[in-house]
Copies of this chain bind each other. A is one copy, B any other.
Amino acid sequence: MLQNREISRATLGRIPSYLQYLRALPPEIQNISATTIAKELGLGEVQVRKDLSCISGAGKPKIGYNAAGLADSLETYLSCENGGAVIVGAGKLGRALLDYSGFAGYGLDILAAFDQAVTEEEKSDMGKRILPMDSLEAFCRTQPVQIGIIAVPAGEAQRVCSRLVENHIRAIWSFAPCSLTVPPDIAIQYENMGLALAHLKIQIK
């Protein structure tokens, strides 16, 4: 799994920019220095060195990093070595998340969505699978599912959460506006849209 779990959210947030920049370099550029990357992305050089050394070790003195090798390390770091995510709840929010294009840049794969109102397999606009709720167990047995995303109303969220945990999900990302109980070895993160918007509102000058 991941070599270094202590990587900060800020570092993680910069990886896609590094990756995007490196992948866009012309093929004749084989080596690249942290100094150049920092300059091109408008970041501090110390920060860039620190970020890259967390993931890919230090560059060679006077030469820097092999550009393709560095990009591969970053992509490996981000990619779903241990599986992707499923969404439970294929309402508006669930479907928006299922087809959201911004996950791929972070090496995150949404495998499918599940909904109790769905009786036969459907496809989202982007061709992703939307499955009946009762196929969750079989899916989780056969697919590398690591993360469960909860996009159901608050009243159903705990039941869904427990069912995901029973299916060996390792982490829960919940959009339901309520607290959930999970075993201590399961990571949980809440996305509170109301709170985020309220927080912006109090910042208004």
A contact set with B: CB distance below 8 Å:
1-2, 5, 7, 9, 12-13, 15-16, 78, 80, 82, 85, 91-93, 95-97, 99-100, 102-108, 125, 146-147, 149, 170-171, 173, 177, 185-187, 189, 191-205
The answer to whether A198 touches B92, judged by C-beta atoms less than 8 angstroms apart, is: no
The answer to whether A96 touches B103, judged by C-beta atoms less than 8 angstroms apart, is: no
Can you sample 15 A-B contacts with CB below 8 Å? A16-B194, A82-B204, A91-B96, A92-B92, A95-B96, A100-B193, A102-B193, A104-B194, A105-B177, A105-B194, A106-B198, A171-B204, A187-B204, A189-B199, A189-B203
The answer to whether B177 touches A200, judged by C-beta atoms less than 8 angstroms apart, is: no
The CA of A96 and the CA of B5, in the complex, are separated in Å by 33
The CA of A185 and the CA of B205, in the complex, are separated in Å by 6
The answer to whether A106 touches B203, judged by C-beta atoms less than 8 angstroms apart, is: no
The CA of A1 and the CA of B201, in the complex, are separated in Å by 11
Cβ contacts under 8 Å, A104 to chain B: 194
Nearest Cβ on chain B to A5's Cβ, whole angstroms: 6
Nearest Cβ on chain B to A21's Cβ, whole angstroms: 14
The CA of A198 and the CA of B100, in the complex, are separated in Å by 14
The CA of A147 and the CA of B196, in the complex, are separated in Å by 12
The CA of A85 and the CA of B12, in the complex, are separated in Å by 30
Our pick among B99, B102, B186 for the contact of A192 (Cβ within 8 Å) is B102
The answer to whether A147 touches B201, judged by C-beta atoms less than 8 angstroms apart, is: yes
